Structure 1
Amino acid sequence: MRRTASRPFLLAPPAFAAALVLCPSWAAPARADDTALFAPPVPAIVTSGPLTFAPLVRKVVPAVVNIAVTQDADNPGKHQPVPPGVKGTPFEHRFRDRMRSRGEEMLGAGSGFIIDPSGVIVTNTHVVGEADRITVSLSDGTEYPARLVGSDDLTDIAVITIQAPHPLPFVTWGDSRQVNVGDWVMAAGNPFGLGSSVTAGIVSARGRDIGASPFDDFLQLDAPINPGNSGGPSFNLGGQVVALNTAIVSPTGGSVGIGFGIPSEIVAPIVAELRRSGHIDRGWLGVTLADGEGHAGVRITDIDRGGPAAKAKLRTGDIVLTVGEEPVDSARTLIRAVAAERPGSTVQVRILRHGTELTVPVIVAHRPADMDD
């Protein structure tokens, strides 16, 4: 993916140019006559955050893993350049050794977290999707080969598994619906291939759409998140996973304080389905939609010939008000509501046609694999 300063990008490791910027103090010295302008300090606000994250780190970091991804080289005898995502990092030496001995090409590194003591690990699809081999390193340095259980390109969620001779430390899901803007979070992962690291910050926004897919609903985090943190977790103060770290906005390739995590309310059910079937089946309506026309619902502007909407006799110009029990206020809401329906099931679609409300039963079809919206 091309990276620009104006768009978020996935956290696959970039070229590892490092810069250290010292932040100046912006507080001007107070004057004696300014004292009356300010209210007394409120201790509750100052002390509401943790004095230390050390207990939380000890509790959850053993379940956070590093992921190295390798691919067979086309010609083991041919010299392969060091990928920019590895050059200058601790993985460069390992890359060169493996290239000499095995004819492998290291694609990069990422993060993940164990959700089951049997070795079930959650990460991003873009971390493991092109791998011939996946190697997982635990916090104690133990390495295991991993197997891909399933992945979902549209939400960038993947599940892998390892076989260990003993139960592994694991973490549990928190309820991201209870996360508020301003809440503390701690991110953990493998930034720049350095190994296990943690950073802390707050949730700075909810419901961010960064144009990655119609299912975007990110938490925006100001905890420093860097390349290599892909697939790692963000925790609430109870040590529960509330987000899967996925993307950053950066003109430099490093953290500028704007990162994005997929909320656990989205990740957890997809992970459960991937563990069950290895893939995600999504519903499809077969319509083109228009937002922002000054009315409730979304207008149908085109209908795919032979699609579910056409078979149900929906028409161009119909305004969709609800899908099942869910109100529709945008094209993205409708796409997500239909996608949540199992292909082959019937959903009741309430529409407005020439000023009259109608309820139309629609048999949802399987979402085509090549659709990007």
Structure 2
Amino acid sequence: MRGAARRGRFAARMMAAGMMAALASPGVSARAWADAPILVEQRPLSFAPLARKIVPAVVNIAVTQDVDEGPTKVKVPPALRGTPFEKQFRERMRSKREQMLGAGSGFIIDPSGVIVTNNHVVGAADKITVSLSDGTELQAKLVGSDELTDIAVIQVKTDKPLPFVTWGDSRKMDVGDWILAAGNPFGLGSSVTAGIISARGRDIGAGPFDDFLQLDAPINPGNSGGPSFDMRGQVVALNTAIVSPTGGSVGIGFGIPSEIVQPIVDQLRKSGHIDRGWLGVTLEDRPGGGVSIVGIDKPGPALQAGLKPGDLVNAVNGDHVDSARGLIRAVAAASPGSAVQLRIQRKGKAMDIAVVVGRRPEDNNG
């Protein structure tokens, strides 16, 4: 025993000596360790104050859709499968087969009852019921929706001002920043989850305007249409999609950045729809940067402006573009009938061409 103790003390002395030798070596110094900057100074001890602030403005959304009568099999929406509400849903449907139920989330952005959610939550609904955090249920109407970005606005009538949240600036959010996601997962009711922004600018093939924030906060079916907040309690993303082989959260969720959502919501509130600019071209990304025009629609704005297959587009209204998606988004942001200035290269020669954009047809990518 004494020998073992001596060997243990000897080993401890040797480890300490080795550490001191390492600190004394030219490559490592105690001062270098001490001078290394602290990259993460603090983390929240609790999200409770933030949750108390934002939860009253986050709503649960239930939708019904008329279906044909007949002895059809009861179809349970994915958001309710495996939850305590599945049995209740089946019993309700056996006695009332003319309606089909879906569930989602939303958030109030105006005390008068204006609510933002996803188009895929409410777009096909015949009846929309909104449940507030205090249990109040209100009927809502669709104000406007945009299928290409999956954004919708609904409105409830209320006799008193409702709690609401404000927009944050998603452009100021970095990979690694904390976010708090809120919504109605699996139809269970108001819930919050915490995580970070995992990546920016994700294209998941949902549409030509994909530019998602990737989030690792648990987001599940029923969270669609809910918000993600920064640590100030401002909305920086509209939770929209998940990647999951099981149907539940595996830590990969996607939200539309507020910089995209806010202007679309503003336009939907004004007109109920989105008018986008259109060039009438087929595009291809060019290795090394720029976008090549490989086809011209007849008739179309590009043909009328004199653009030709083989033209290389470098900028729109002075802003550089380096991908077909970037060019489509820049042109789509222009109002139909307005002019955009394209900087192109044709056979090695740079030139500017003004194009009066048209109105984007449905299901068009140029």
The interval holding the TM-score normalised by the smaller chain is 0.7 to 0.9
TM-score (norm 2): 0.88
Counterpart position of 2:68: 74
Counterpart position of 1:23: none
Instruction: Tell me: CA distance 1:348–1:104, structure 2 relative to 1, closer, same or farther (3 Å).
Output: same
Instruction: Tell me: CA distance 1:210–1:351, structure 2 relative to 1, closer, same or farther (3 Å).
Output: same
**Which sections of structure 1, spanning at least 5 residues, go unmatched?**
1-30
Counterpart position of 1:235: 229
1:34-73 counterparts in 2 under 5 A?
36=19, 48-73=42-67
Counterpart position of 2:121: 127
1:95/1:106 contact within 8 Å kept: no
1:98/1:104 contact within 8 Å kept: no
Paired AA for residue 250 in structure 1: S
Shift of 1:348: 1.1
1:291/1:331 contact within 8 Å kept: yes
Report the structure, 1 or 2, having the larger helix content. 2
SS at match of 2:54: helix
Q: Distance in 2 between matches of 1:204 and 1:299?
A: 32
Whether 2:208 is the aligned partner of 1:214: answer yes
Counterpart position of 2:360: 367
Paired AA for residue 42 in structure 2: S
Counterpart position of 1:265: 259
Select which of 135, 142, 157 maps to 1:163.
Answer: 157
Q: Distance in 1 between matches of 2:261 and 2:54?
A: 18
Counterpart position of 1:358: 351
Shift of 1:207: 0.8
Q: Distance in 1 between matches of 2:275 and 2:128?
A: 25
Paired AA for residue 201 in structure 1: G
Structure with max Cα Rg? 2
Give the CA RMSD over aligned residues: 2.3
Whether 2:310 is the aligned partner of 1:325: answer no
Select which of 90, 98, 105 maps to 1:111.
Answer: 105
Counterpart position of 1:4: none
Whether 2:331 is the aligned partner of 1:338: answer yes
**CA deviation vs aligned residue, 1:221-268 (integer Å, no higher than 9, x gap):** 111111111000000000000000001111111111111100000000
1:82/1:92 contact within 8 Å kept: no
Q: Distance in 2 between matches of 1:102 and 1:81?
A: 10
Q: Which has the higher contact order (CA 8 A, sep 6+)?
A: 1
Paired AA for residue 53 in structure 1: F
Q: Distance in 2 between matches of 1:269 and 1:234?
A: 17
**CA deviation vs aligned residue, 1:111-154 (integer Å, no higher than 9, x gap):** 00000001100000011111111111111111111101000011
Q: Distance in 2 between matches of 1:96 and 1:264?
A: 37
Shift of 1:67: 0.6
Counterpart position of 1:303: 296
SS at match of 2:328: helix
Whether 2:242 is the aligned partner of 1:248: answer yes
2:328/2:365 contact within 8 Å kept: no
Q: Distance in 2 between matches of 1:129 and 1:372?
A: 22
